[in-house]
Amino acid sequence: MEKTLVVITHPKLGSSKINKRWIEELKKHPDDIIIHDLHGTYPSLELDVKREQELIESVDKVILQFPFYWFNCPPFLKKWIDDVLAYGWAFGKNSGYKIAGKKFALAITAGIKEEDYRKTGRYNYTLEELTRPFETSFKYVKADYRPLYAFYGEEYNPTEEAIEVNAKGYIDFIEQL
């Protein structure tokens, strides 16, 4: 397996059933997966941009793992994207496009049901459509953006079996990127 960095951004990770279960599954692959909890690493929310860029440079794939609420990512992940994917490093004149060709994907836990994220669903948008700004941003910096992975319906007390199947699927998703 190629080396993968999973950047976890969850402001209330301790109370998250799905994200915690995903992390447990990720921990079974320490030689292949670097688990990077942004809130745990930077409780003050002050990033070490150079360190973050070096982490990205050291891997083949980057997964941004986060809860999807208010139809977006947590603010700290947006700050990470803005600060780390900086002009002169990730894009721009004479930048070298340091992440060009690296595989990037999203792993999202969504509170609402999958059927609500359909053209005929409650919100009339798919999760892929709602995350199009991520896709566009990663394509802009010449990264190889890949389809997202999701767990839907976290707010509806999912069964342990559903959580288990999804957690195993998450590893398969990473391996197949």
The Cα diameter of the chain in Å comes to: 51
- Going by C-alpha positions, the residue among 148, 176, 175, 155 that lies closest to residue 18 is 155
The model's pTM is 0.96
Residue 91, pLDDT score: 94
Residues of the chain with pLDDT under 50: none
Residue 93, pLDDT score: 85
- Residue 20 CA to residue 14 CA, distance in Å, equals 7
Backbone φ and ψ for 72, nearest 5 degrees, come out as -160, -175
In the chain, % of residues over pLDDT 70: 99
Residue 174, pLDDT score: 97
Residue 1, pLDDT score: 67
